[in-house]
Structure 1
């Protein structure tokens, strides 16, 4: 596929594709969105019409076997990622798969084996790796701006979101479809960035609880990780607090200062040292996956490295598995 145009087909053109990812495929050099699929074919047709996509399907097999499509983006609930990835790889087409990559580590391990079996490329949509905010954080850490890293603190506190109880969004709260509720949906963003910054953790502990009993998945989770150089991470994800307690904060604390930023909200990066507080303006792209899709397209064309491999994603999956096993 080197130097060729990447002609994308999307399996599962739901909410995530409307702004975060879908429009980006036509904004990247040598990349075009040519087909979309959704089981509700009327919704697939509506998406195609609004986004000027020439083909739409109600059957994934038809999209995968469309000769005009040479790369697949899997944007369905996690429980189906392994199946659609295998079908695409069988057809000789590389795959960009949404996060969380699947429902558990064992399934991710099977996907790794499939990529090797079919000798094709798979990238995972841990797209924060390519955003300016997190690239800046990585650069500052590498420069030693805040000295030796001692502690990372993450706090994600949200009030109950009733949209997740309606039929279209309820899959996120179904452990069979999504793994571990909203922790499984959101924490891969943070866990992946931590492993990207500090490497695979040396130990992992945690606990998930269902405090409110509003649904079958946990609604509060704590995680503690230990990295090389005795760097400690403490994180909590709670989806059952009052609106006035809402929080999205990450602090990376060193022996000469700290970095402070948000993962999900547009916010500035604060660099706090003995010299004072430097505020670095940061803003997420409107199509937040655009930089990642550009990197994945280059990888599929043979012009760059894999920005996030299945092996990378497996590290986060193992952390989540271990945490949920103690719920």
Structure 2
């Protein structure tokens, strides 16, 4: 295989700018087909983005001989089904986050990848962005000494949040999304914690629906003890006032702190009265660095930038935070 010829299943909002155009911008990569159950929308996407083929049936796209890799960008409910079909057809898969509805489903996807010996990568794309790589570099260099604990707050107003707007707002339906807005945003944050701090020793949490505005829980708190001894505390609340919105992750070490937003562009260091900031330009296509790495992985030119094994860890954390009883 000399070039990755992508088929996209689920060419919705996330593929318009965040990911879709990037597949044609990284070396040895191009989109050859897209699929959406609404045929008119699939055709419209293909025409606007210059994609040669479009389908309203996922199986037809997967079996297209011109397609040699699949990007799955549907709501999480369909991730497992389409991943299993694609892997069985011998086509490597790049699947959106969250990897699927829960950890049990994620394990089945991993097992299929092993069974068919076909590559599987998960779109925890912040791992590849310069800003979060800078945080990794600072931690690896022990700039703030030994890490003691992490405090994360994601507080959003119901009037306006970070989620893409959709007609039926499927992200608020746990049967489709796996949970609520927590399940859409937390994978970014929890995967970064795993990327930075490694294996988890234990985790627990509380998840409740305080407002009753929709079926999904709107407040989640979670704690993690990493095997390294680092302790994490996170709070996700989606019903605060507009004035109380917050997006901050603060890593405290024995010699200082590193703080940054998950959906921003600035990393700050405070150490012994000294302060420094690193500001990063916004990426036109936020997934492009990750898609570049995944393409190289599928071509046998690099490592898997986020394996199913790594993604399962974040699914397990979400399950432990939101389990009932």
Cα distance change, pair 114–182 in 1 and its aligned pair in 2 (3 A): same
| Aligned-CA RMSD value | 1.5
Q: Equivalent residue for 1:182? A: 181
The alpha-carbon deviation at position 167 of structure 1 amounts to 6.3
2:120 and 2:228 map into 1 onto residues whose CA distance is 31
Partner of 1:206: 205
Distance of 1:145 and 1:22 partners within structure 2: 37
* 1:5-52 deviation per Cα after TM superposition (whole angstroms, max 9, x unaligned): 100010000000000000000000000011110000111111111111
Determine the C-alpha separation between the residues in 2 that align with 1:145 and 1:165. Answer: 36
Q: Which residue of 2 aligns with 1:276?
A: 274
5+ long unaligned stretches in structure 2: none
Alpha-carbon deviation of 1:229?
A: 3.3
Match of residue 306, structure 1, among 297, 304, 307: 304
Residue of structure 2 equivalent to 1:62: 60
Distance 1:162-1:135 versus aligned 2 partners, 3 A rule:
closer
- Map 1:67-216 → 2, pairs under 5 A: 67-161=65-159, 168-216=167-215
Query: Structure 1 stretches of 5 or more lacking a match?
Result: none
Asked if the contact 2:269/2:277 (under 8 Å) is kept, the reply is yes
CA distance in 2, matches of 1:168, 1:59: 21
TM-score using structure 1 length? 0.96
Partner Cα separation in structure 1 for residue 105 and residue 185 of structure 2: 19
The two structures have a TM-score, normalised by structure 2, of 0.97
2:40 counterpart residue number: 42
Name the count of aligned residue pairs. Answer: 324
Kept in 2, the 8 Å contact 1:37–1:60? The answer is yes
Aligned to 1:252: 251
Q: Structure 1 residues 255 and 167, CA, compared in 2 at 3 Å: closer, same or farther?
A: closer
* Equivalences for residues 219-298 of structure 1 within 5 A: 219-265=218-264, 267-274=265-272, 276-298=274-296
CA deviation after TM superposition for structure 1 residue 169, in Å: 4.5
Provide the rounded CA distance (Å) in 1 between the counterparts of 2:187 and 2:76: 12
Which residue does 1:18 correspond to in 2?
A: 16
**Aligned-partner Cα distance in 2 for 1:268–1:184:** 24
Task: Please give the per-residue CA displacement for 1:203-256, whole angstroms capped at 9, x wherever unaligned.
Answer: 101111100000111001001111133211111011111111111001111111
